[in-house]
Amino acid sequence: MKTRAALGSLCMLLTGALLWQCGGDAIETSAADAGGADAGPDCAGDPACTGGEPLFVFYVVHVHGPEGRPEFQPATQEEYLGVARTVRRLADTLEDHGAKGTFEILQLVADGAVQYEGASDNLLVELARRGHEVAAHAHSFQDDQWRRTSAAIAAAGVQPPTTLGARGSIDMAASAGYTALTDNFNPLDSHAPPEIANCADWGLGGNTVYPRTWNLPHPWRPDATSVPSFCLHDPDGPLVYVDHVGGDWLTNGCTTSAGPFTSCHFDKLRPYFEAAVALDRQDRITAWGWVSHEVEYCVGGHQGYDGTAPVDETAIAALEAFLGYIEGRGSGVSWATVGEIVQAFGQWEASR
């Protein structure tokens, strides 16, 4: 696992004009320049803040199953096996390009894995064995559902998940055994809570580049769930927040039904990815990733999806093209699961 060495003092954002302090040298720039695509836009001009380890790249897949189904309501065998078929195809595609996924699983899918494939050799066990992360996803804001999802995943024969894709209390998530949260809090994205715009910056600083990367690229430990405490880094915080590109890319200007994917969708991600590569920070962990669902790789997309729709080959080809594009960056990027990014963040904290 690759980590970034901590060199000198961190780059810190001061309020007012964007004034970046890095290694003792202050550089004043405009907001537009701070979001620019040149190398190290959030630490411009300081060699201590560029030339670091490769960018961590991650892909979160929300595995929902049938559209509109309550997350605790069991799937039929046909529905579950259809979902499993699509997820296995996604895992194959990622591995063909040296990539790995963080598959955030709803309870009904974990329950189906045990019911229809057995507790010792099922979809979740296979994903973990192949080097992907089996994480939890929940639509409920209640910790009892988060616990049920964790228990269902553990019952399917894998380690209890440490990554949760959900919004809610940080303390409740931690008490349920999670050490990482994923979501999107880019205030420009329609899926982000509007009150997040009250933050001047997030966590350890440097996350104001979100207009270019469409995520908050530097993980941190939120002080609390509520804004503005969420925007403050708490060194003793129980969870690490890893931000991914939000949901607007799924539909904006490409389709009205959010799938199946075409090259139009992934073309929207390319400039965000390039802006993240340009950060190339050596003084902190930098991560960029995106999120989607298994359904966007199925014929018909979300329209009437019950889990049984066949894989859409055009959507798989579009994903393959984007993975090949990332692969073409060579040593500039390093694929990781969210869990691995959190481990790297902990090593980085210990080195400071």
- pLDDT digits over 295-326, tens only? 999 999 988 899 999 999 999 999 999 999 99
At 256, is the pLDDT very low, low, confident or very high (cuts 50, 70, 90)? low
Q: Write out the two tokens for 60.
A: 């979160």
Q: Which long-range contacts (CB under 8 A, 24 or more apart) does 267-274 make?
A: 269/245, 269/322, 270/322, 270/325, 271/37, 271/212, 272/212, 272/213, 272/214, 272/215, 272/245, 273/57, 273/325, 273/326, 274/37
Going by the DSSP 8-state scheme, the letter that residue 121 receives in this structure is S
Sign of CA dihedral 344, 41, 194, 105: negative
DSSP-based three-state secondary structure for 187: coil
Q: What is the number of residues in the chain?
A: 352
| 290 — pLDDT class (breaks 50, 70, 90) | very high
pLDDT band at 228 (very low <50, low <70, confident <90, very high): confident
Helices and strands (H, E) in the chain, number of each type: 10, 11
Cα 228 to Cα 129: distance, rounded to the nearest angstrom: 40
Average pLDDT over residues 70-91: 96
Q: Supply the pLDDT for residue 279.
A: 86
- Please name the residues in contact with 106: beta carbons below 8 A apart, sequence gap of 6 or more: 62, 63, 64, 65, 71, 137, 138, 139, 149
14 has a pLDDT exceeding 60: no
Nearest residue to 36 (alpha-carbon basis) of 201, 207, 209, 200: 209
Q: Does the structure show a pLDDT above 70 at 18?
A: no
pLDDT digits (tens, 9 = 90+) for 53-69: 679 999 999 999 999 88
Q: Does domain 53-351 have CATH number 3.20.20.370?
A: yes
Answer yes or no: is pLDDT of 27 > 60: no
Instruction: Please say if the pLDDT value at position 160 is more than 60.
Output: yes
Mean pLDDT of 202-212: 91
| Rounded Cα gap, residues 136 and 106, in angstroms | 6
Asked if pLDDT for residue 8 goes beyond 60, the answer is no
Q: How confident is the model at residue 327 (pLDDT cuts 50, 70, 90)?
A: very high
Task: State the Cα–Cα distance between residues 62 and 104, nearest whole angstrom.
Answer: 5
Tell me what pLDDT residue 52 has. Answer: 57
Predicted confidence at residue 331, as pLDDT, reads: 78
Give the model's confidence band at 79: pLDDT under 50 very low, under 70 low, under 90 confident, else very high.
Answer: very high
Mean pLDDT computed over 276-291: 89
pLDDT above 90: percentage of residues in the chain: 65
pLDDT number for residue 1: 35
Separation CA 296–CA 61 (nearest Å): 10
